Every structure is written in C-alpha cells, then in structure tokens.
Structure 1
Amino acid sequence: MSMLQLFIDTFASTMRDVLPIAAVLVGFQLLVLRQKIANLWRVIRGFVYVLIGLAFFLMGLQEAIFPLGELMASQLTNPAFVYSELYAQGITTIQTVRWDDYLWVYAFAFSIGLATTLAEPSLIAVGMKAEQVSGGAVSAWGLRLAVSLGVAIGVSIGCYRIVTGTDLWLYIIVAYIIVIAQTFRAPSMIIPLAYDSGGVTTSTVTVPLLAALGLGLAATIPGRSPLIDGFGLIAFASVFPIMSVMGYAQAIRFLDKYRQSGRTAGLDDE
C-alpha cells in the first residue's frame, strides 16, 4: 500500500471516529444551549488540524512503532535468546522455567512501559489540565513521570507473573488493597487525579505494545497459554499508576513537612 493511500485510509477512519464527538458538541451548542459557535472558522481550522495530526500520528505508530515493538517482544521472548547458552550446547528442550532467566524481558518491559506512557497524548492532556487547574501545585511533568514509573513497574511485575505462572487475581487484589490503604492517607486533592491516571495509561500507544509483549511472552514459555496468561498486562498498567501518583503526592507532602520542621528547628536555635 502506498503512503498516500495509507494516509487517505487513516484519515478517513480518523474522521469517522472524531465526527461523532464534533456532532455532539455542535448539536448541544446549537440545539440545547442555542448559542452561536464563537470563532467558528478558528474552530473549523483546529478541527482539521486535529484530523490531520491524528492521521499522521496513527500512521507513524502503524508503520514504525508497532512493528518494531512487536519485533522486539518476539525476539526478547524467543527461547533461543533467553536460553542462548543452552542452545549453544545443543539443548533446545527446556524443562524448568526460572524467573531470573528473563531479566532482559523485565528490563524491556520497564523501559517500554516508561517510554510509551510518557508519550501518551491522553496523559499529556491530563497533565496540562491538572497543572492549569491546580495553579501549578501539580506539575504536569511530575504527574507524567509518576504515572510512567507506575506503568513501568506494573508491566515488569506483570511479566514476572507470566514467567512464574502465578494467578493474576492475587496481584490485582494485593494492588487494590494497597490502593485503598493509600486512599485514606493521600492528600484529598490528588486522589481523583490518581484514579483518573490509571485510565489514561491504557490508550493508543501503550495497549498494542503491551498486548504484543504479553502474548509473545506467554506463547514462548513452556506451559503458558497465550489466552490465559498472555493478557493481564494492561490491568497492571491501570492499577499501578494509581499507587505511584498517590505515593508521589505522599512523598511531596512528607518532604514539605520535613523542610518546615527543619526551618522551625533553625528558628528555635536562633
């Protein structure tokens, strides 16, 4: 398929996805609120920019990021790479799977979870709005980094779960118990934002790469089922950012209290 034809097809599908949103906004503005659209031509121009930008963005993902990510996942989970020393000795049948044989997979999972989440457009938008609404109290970059670290850690633990073959529900229950405990201790301002952060991570960039990694890993480990064990990484990518964002807020509050106590002690000494 030529690049021009690919762009046309992607642009058409993007338009089909975005037009209902525009229809709802325009319909409520004209029929319910009965108000004219302010700066109509600027809105139309911005709408066209959104369509073109999304089309190019999706083309880039489809042509480069997704194939490369799937290739990396398949190569890293290939038994010939994981057990390269045994394969060099002519041993190709693996009887026992050890979790520490897949250290490079955990490292790749951490890196890809961190990088893809930092690049998520939805997270960038939420971070910008949070910084704007909070008057700078919540840093957009700090929020993005906290969410990305949560996803990276969660995906690494999810890969460990696939390798060891343990039940998914054990990890999820423990994770949400920690989330509930943090909810009672975290600053009230950050709690809704933390819960929303768990949702914005499962978007355009992250999901396809994590799905490819989980399915590739489960398909190459003896005794694992791609259907049963291959999925679940996205659940880790949803719950762990909630923990990391609330943990980030708790750490900031602790540091502020520590600094204030240090200043108070200094004033007392004077």
Structure 2
Amino acid sequence: MVLELFAMLRDVLPIILVILFFQYLILKRPLANPLRVATGFALVIIGLYAFVVGLKLGLFPIGRSMAEQLIAFDNWLWVYLFAFCIGFATTMAEPALLAVGQQAEEAAAGKIQGNVIRLLVALGVAIGITLGVHRIISGDSIHHYIIGGYLLVILLTFLAPRYIVALAFDLGGVTTSEVTVPLVTALGIGLASQIEGRKVLIDGFGLIAFASIFPIVTVMGYAILMDRVANMRGKTP
C-alpha cells in the first residue's frame, strides 16, 4: 500500500512542480493558503490510489464477468441491451459531464439546458457503445466505423448552429472519464476474449472511440433540429 501511494505521488508530482514553478518563479507570489493546497493534493493522491484499487477490485472484473455471462445466454440481444444501458448509465454518472453541462447552461443565456445536454450525451454514448459492441461481435474492421462516424461529424459541423459546435466536441471528450472508461474497456475485452476468432488487442479495444464520436452527433443533431423548429415557428404567421 505504501509503495502504491508513493507511485501516485510520483505521478502527481509533475503537476505540483509546474504549479509551484509558475507561482513562485514566474508570478513571484506566495500561495494564498499553502496548508489548504497541500491538504488538497494529499486528498488527490489518496483518492487516485483508492480509485485505482477500486478499478482492480470491482469495475474491471464485473465488466468482464458480465460479458462472459451474457454471451452464455446465446442471445446477442441481451449483449446489445447491456451495452446500451451501461453506456447510458455510466455517462449520466460522470461528474465531469455534470460540471460542463452546468457551465454551458450558465454561458448560453437560455439556449442550452444542462439536463438536456446530459441526456443527449448519455444517449450518444449508449448508441456508440452498442455500435462498437456490434463491431466486436461481427468482426468488422474498426476503420469503416470510425471513418464513417467522423464523416458524419464533419457534415453536422457545417449544418449545426455555431454556438453548439465547440461544446459538442468538448462533450465528446468528457465522456471518456473515470466512470465510463473502466466498465466499457472491461466489456470490450471481455467480449473479445469470449468470442471465438477475436483478438483482445485488435478487437477488445476501440469502444472508447465510439463513446467519444456519437455524443458529438447527438448533441449537434439535436441543435440542428431545434434550430429548424425555431425557424419554422418564426415563419408561421
């Protein structure tokens, strides 16, 4: 345990050094509350340690276990349903998504609702992971799916209102955070290891890419739809 805590300190140390360097050597000002900052970093290290241990003990094993048990049903519908539900549920639990949604709502002056954004992103992740699971099951090449997904994103970028484009791309990155990644990665590895003819390294990974692409699609698609509805209402006498 002590060695692992020191390993976490080693990983966080570059962040601490960068902050202290700019604070004392560039800004040439002391920290406003050194004790509070030190306590915060200590909690970060302990929290990261607890998170990594939790991944090893809980999330990774349960993801693989679920994949193995669902495949044993000999009905791929349950695998697709689990992929959709776990993608939606983990995304709704992402603290980073909640924070971005709230800030976007405050900055958008009524154009964006934080709860709607969370639902759209969760739906996009659910669709993406389900499609990624289908790729693993079918054995298709990931290239066609990723290229097709980004071509769709590029098309929607030209069609979507300007205020939503940058936010949509940021939301795609928010999904690859601490809650979604462990379970989704474990699901992909579990499926690839249980399906005959699949290779874990080639077929087991890639679900996170799907989880990043399709929230962009759902958010921009919703903005385009709402913009069209608003224009139609404005033209109605």
TM-score range, shorter chain: 0.7 to 0.9
Q: What pairs up with 1:146-225 in 2 under 5 angstroms?
A: 146-225=120-199
Which of 105, 118, 123 is the aligned partner of 1:131?
105
Tell me which residue corresponds to 1:249.
223
In our comparison, the structure showing a higher alpha carbon Rg is: 1
**Quick one: distance in 2 between partners of 1:17 and 1:139?**
37
CA contact (8 A) 1:74 1:213 kept: no
Q: Which structure features the higher share of helix residues?
A: 2
TM-fit CA distance, 1:120: 2.8
CA contact (8 A) 1:10 1:59 kept: no
Which deviates more from structure 2 when the two are superposed, residues 153-162 or residues 21-30?
21-30
Give the superposed CA RMSD.
2.6
TM-score, normalised to structure 2, is 0.85
Unaligned ranges ≥5, structure 2: none
TM-fit CA distance, 1:157: 0.7
Over 6 Å off, 4+ runs: none
Tell me which residue corresponds to 1:227.
201
**Quick one: distance in 1 between partners of 2:27 and 2:204?**
48
CA contact (8 A) 1:77 1:216 kept: no
Unaligned ranges ≥5, structure 1: 83-100, 266-270
Equivalent residues, number: 237
Alpha-carbon distance change, 215 to 185 in structure 1, aligned in 2, over 3 angstroms: same
**Quick one: distance in 1 between partners of 2:7 and 2:103?**
28
Alpha-carbon distance change, 35 to 149 in structure 1, aligned in 2, over 3 angstroms: same
Residue 104 (str. 1) matches residue 78 (str. 2): yes
**Quick one: distance in 2 between partners of 1:52 and 1:102?**
40
Secondary structure of the residue aligned to 2:163 is coil
Alpha-carbon distance change, 53 to 212 in structure 1, aligned in 2, over 3 angstroms: closer
TM-fit CA distance, 1:29: 1.8
Which structure ranks higher in relative contact order (CA pairs < 8 Å, sequence separation ≥ 6)? 2
Amino acid at match of 1:68: I
**Quick one: distance in 2 between partners of 1:65 and 1:170?**
30
TM-score, normalised to structure 1, is 0.76
Query: Sequence identity, in percent?
Result: 52
